[in-house]
Chain A
Amino acid sequence: MTDKQVTHSPDTEARQDAALSPPVDVVEDATGITLYADLPGVPKERLNVHVEGETLFIEADIVLELPQGMQASHAEVQRTHYRRTFNLSRELDPAKVSAELNQGVLRLRIPKAEHAQPRRIEVQVG
């Protein structure tokens, strides 16, 4: 799984610039890959994870309840949209991606396809 550099037409450029790139952890084990992404402030209904071809898209919006008439005096998070894309390698099964969102952390499980699962070959003693 590798980060994807996407080339964009000028009209999508502005939107692309306006997105935060969430930090991720990617852990691989024998049966698949687990991806964790920090998406604080994102409720479940504003998270959009989808796979197109071999590309995994993570998009999400921050929803904060701001009091009326609040003036920001210090802002380290200055955008409200998260976006990050990854290239999935062929042995991963995009149809079986599962996602859960808990306390602002997205956990994605991408299992390896059947044929790519490790197989133990019995050694016959002849």
Chain B
Amino acid sequence: MYSSQFPRDLFAQVERLQREMQQAFDTNVSPSIRGFARGYPALNVGSTPSSVEVFAFAPGVDPSGIEVRLERGVLTIEGQRAPVAAVQDGKTTVHVNERFDGRFSRVISLPDDIDPAAVTATCRDGVLRISVPRRESAQPRRIPVQ
């Protein structure tokens, strides 16, 4: 493509590469059978004794457009993000286009001791938080000594 020989595109590509490298070094995630894919939305997962917490960084997506499914211990986050609304009137120019758009789907496998009936999902400032409680029986319990 002729336009890709222009310097600005080259700089944009170098910068994207730099960012990807930086992010690749940032993570020391062990490779999973479902792929090493880092993508949209970025995921942080944490656990407490009583729950598993999933944070999906999904800016610019309406919460009603995100589908969260839990099926046999596998959590799926799917949806679609619209591209930037550029008016195609010949007078607008897109100089930089780095943000993700299109369909997305990310999958996480959850531990065995979760309670699939009590999952809650909330969205705030473009971060979707999915809270998956662990089953009562799996939670640590203190046994009183008589």
Binary interface encoding of chain B residues 42-55 relative to chain A, with 1 for a CB under 8 A from any of its CBs, else 0: 11111111010101
Q: How many A residues are at the interface, by size bracket?
A: 35 or more
The contact size tier of chain B is 35 or more
| A 4-33 contacts with B by CB, 8 A | 21, 23-30, 33
**B55 contacts across to A, CB distance below 8 A:** 64, 77
Residue pair A76, B27 in contact (C-beta under 8 Å): yes
Please measure, in the bound complex, the distance between the C-alpha atom of A78 and the C-alpha atom of B55, giving whole angstroms: 12
List residues of chain A with CB within 8 A of the CB of B129: 64-65
Q: Are A74 and B49 in contact (CB under 8 A)?
A: no
Contact between chains at A104 and B48 (CB < 8 Å): no
The reply on B5 being an interface residue by CB < 8 A is no
Within residues 57 to 113 of chain A, which ones have a CB less than 8 A from any CB in chain B? 63-79, 103-105
Give the CA-CA distance A72 to B27 in the complex, in Å: 12
A29–B87 touching, CB < 8 Å: yes
A41 near B93 (CB under 8 angstroms)? no
Q: How far is the CB of A74 from chain B (nearest CB, A)?
A: 4
**Chief secondary structure at chain B's binding surface:** mixed
> B residues within 8 A CB of A66?
46, 53
In the bound assembly, the distance between CA atoms of A25 and B97 in angstroms comes to 4
Chain B residues near A39: list those with CB within 8 A: 59, 126
Contact with B along A42-68 (1 / 0, CB 8 A): 110000000000000000000111111
**Interface flag for B69 (CB, 8 Å):** no
Q: 8 Å CB contacts to A: which residues of B77-118?
A: 84, 86-87, 91-100, 108
A119 → chain B closest CB, angstroms? 14
User: A43 contacts B125, CB within 8 Å?
Assistant: yes
Is the CB–CB distance between B59 and A28 below 8 Å?
no
Interface residues of B (CB under 8 A from A): 11, 15, 19, 22-23, 26-27, 29, 38, 41-49, 51, 53, 55, 57-62, 84, 86-87, 91-100, 108, 123, 125-127, 129
- Chain A positions within 8 Å of B, measured between CB atoms, are 1, 3, 21, 23-30, 33, 36, 38-43, 63-79, 103-105
In the assembled complex, 18 residue pairs joining A and B whose CB atoms fall closer than 8 Å, in A order, are: A3-B11, A25-B96, A27-B86, A27-B92, A27-B94, A29-B92, A33-B95, A40-B125, A66-B46, A67-B48, A67-B51, A70-B53, A76-B29, A76-B38, A78-B27, A103-B123, A104-B127, A105-B59
